[in-house]
Structure 1
């Protein structure tokens, strides 16, 4: 039982000989029981900085010691601390042992973060949490070797303050990992502030990142930048490779000096946030090609985590499929249970250029058009471009389609046909058609204009 508690415990006899210690002490101090048991208490813990030796106090007085903080170097050589207290154990009115309990601060922080992260997991993911996130690392779906390793590394990285660079292809879930790291970190009480660097015009980027003051330029107002909004939290820079080199230089200076100025202001403010950045291209190749400053790369990539593509972790497809079916069952009040094995075979043979996001879209498409009475998605509900894989299993055919760019054309043609059929079935009732398709009315109007669809007389 003592091995299961969350505190470090070690036991000495009245002669100060260590007779037992639990696995938390082993883990936090980097020692082995067989090396410690039998040693004197003062010999085993030479590096403790204590005002009063709690164990010796209890041996001398037979009384419980007061709780005190002990400063020491941990197994990695870093200065840390623990709260320590000793208790006497009597048998037949004689002091037999002294139990010393240690609350390791680093270990306790990890436990509190895990509890906080788990509490956040129970929140409805459709509702933003108080820190502007929807996901924790518990929401990462996948039990493949690569995903288990990624989550484990993410948890370790979360406990430091170092900048993190995420590298993963489009649709692999970089923001989910970034939010998960934020919620597992010491910054989780602060806000998670995200920006897609590719979606902001170059002339607005500096203002959005660092803020502005009234009169700095035409129409300028006093407005905080994202670095200010993320104070004591996390700033997530997605598609870092889209930042112009001029902005990269200013960002580097801010990260080095840990201070920034709003545009038009001579007064600076401190930077007190963790920076997580992401790119969908190999960052080292971006440096070689001159698209990413080398000095900025070294500043942001103190910790680099690579997110595997779906093609690299196809073992996770069944679990992902179940996850998305459960998600859309809840959203659309459906009762779908599983998919045909034939579909899973197609999924395993497909290359998934859009990664997990594409798989999610495929499942959402299928649940919109299923009419199966047995709660099972069938081959007939697959999008056309995936059915083609079943008709032609030659891998080079798929490669030809991708290289010629016809996959995009196939997808657009298929989407157009689905829209035409749905609008015809609803007699061009746009609101009903949007509900049948599971999209917003405005999104359907956009697609009608995009494809130039017209109601037939």
Structure 2
């Protein structure tokens, strides 16, 4: 009799204990012969214990995947081992934890604790319910910032400053590369402020044609130009609430001068009108270019910047907060589980390595799109995202590695940041790399690239000129 059988015979309470555990338990000896299964296994695996004990692992499963075999091969614990096999023409998926059974210093067998994936699906559903209840009971400030994921020191500092900024009406200036979450911060500041019941209006300055930006900002009166009607500008529309001017560095300097005057007078005048209108708003602005560089390049007026940057928040790129990549990934998985009615638990180890090692030129927005793409390819039976679900993302990396085969070239600056370059240079370099990657993916098509980067063609051409990015036929 094996030592494991001997122990089970000498201590029957162990058998009773195992049979009262609602998860499946298998025990085998070093010859891969199953010597014990508990009662829960009969329900989970649809087998009879008496027909399993005494048989080899391969005789019970139609798959070579086995946590017990893995344990015996390595003599080490295995965690979250995915096992798939068929039983009575039904596909069964299990997550298993296994460990060696060592008696008197000698490995006598292996134990596998098995969870049917339905168990995890129930946990995920319960977790969603609990999270929703938790969010509903949080106070306004915690709720506003509680959904923003990040634990890296630089990012926590940003959250701390933003939380304080929400308590006053001082102008806030957010700096960060495209896709880093500037609008998320702006919305959170608004939601945590005393103005949360009023309007939050966001305007992307890079997406508005130069000829229209002043009419959109300040409003129009009927007849000022052909087709003009009496219309409120966004300053009036945001009355009592928050106005977010995104990518202010893309606003023409002439419009910036008029914006400065409006802020100084705290009155706005519609185009074609002589009447001034008082406004009361909390103004938040942003730039995807470091302010010092934008001022040097004459993309932002210096006097305007100092009026807008009473509180200045520098949001780091995702590459600078590597420890936040996997928590963000898990957050997006849970989001798309609910949206797509999927039951993914996590990404596998290989995908984790890919995600952490990638430089994410598109930052959080790119990571979110990557997970959304993968979630479209998982099946109802999948519990993890694997490499096969990320073929489009991996193909994009491969395109980046084969840049010489595509008609895009860079004629100024170096693509690689120096180890000692400061954070300003890094953010600018990330934006530049994001544009290069998108151009490569779209084979140099500026229109498609602008759509992918969520910016106007005019704004993209400006950035390509600024960074010296040219298509090879230019």
TM-score per shorter chain, which class?
Answer: 0.5 to 0.7
Partner of 1:56: none
Question: Aligned match of 1:288 in 296, 311, 319?
Answer: 296
Partner of 1:233: 241
Partner of 2:438: 408
| Deviations 1:104-154, CA, capped at 9 Å, x for gaps | xxxxxxxxx972345xx4xxxxxxxxxxxxxx2122111222222111110
Distance change (3 Å), C-alpha of 1:349 and 1:270: same
Q: 5 Å matches for 1:50-69? A: none
| CA–CA distance in structure 2, aligned partners of residues 403 and 270 of structure 1 | 43
Q: Give the 3-state SS of the residue equivalent to 1:149 in structure 2.
A: helix
Question: Aligned match of 1:144 in 135, 149, 152?
Answer: 152
| Deviations 1:391-438, CA, capped at 9 Å, x for gaps | 999xxxxx68x979874355347xxxxxxxxxxxxxxxxxxxxxxxxx
| Deviations 1:47-89, CA, capped at 9 Å, x for gaps | xxxxxxxxxxxxxxxxxxxxxxxxxxxxxxxxxxxxxxxxxxx
| CA–CA distance in structure 1, aligned partners of residues 174 and 313 of structure 2 | 5
The answer as to whether partners of 1:172 and 1:310 remain within 8 angstroms in 2 is: yes
| CA–CA distance in structure 2, aligned partners of residues 404 and 262 of structure 1 | 38
| CA–CA distance in structure 2, aligned partners of residues 230 and 259 of structure 1 | 13
Q: 5 Å matches for 1:81-230? A: 115-117=139-141, 121=143, 136-230=144-238
Q: Give the 3-state SS of the residue equivalent to 2:202 in structure 1.
A: strand
Question: Aligned match of 1:244 in 246, 249, 252?
Answer: 252
**1:370 Cα deviation after fit:** 2.0
**Which structure 1 segments of 5+ residues have no match?**
1-112, 122-135, 394-398, 414-457
Aligned length: 283
| CA–CA distance in structure 2, aligned partners of residues 403 and 175 of structure 1 | 21
Question: Aligned match of 1:260 in 256, 268, 290?
Answer: 268
Partner of 1:301: 309
| TM-score, normalised with respect to structure 2 | 0.56
Distance change (3 Å), C-alpha of 1:360 and 1:385: closer
The answer as to whether partners of 1:114 and 1:184 remain within 8 angstroms in 2 is: no
Partner of 1:330: 338
| TM-score, normalised with respect to structure 1 | 0.58
**1:296 Cα deviation after fit:** 0.4
| CA–CA distance in structure 2, aligned partners of residues 223 and 403 of structure 1 | 40
**Which structure 2 segments of 5+ residues have no match?**
1-136, 402-414, 417-431, 444-474
Give the alignment's Cα RMSD to 1 decimal.
2.9
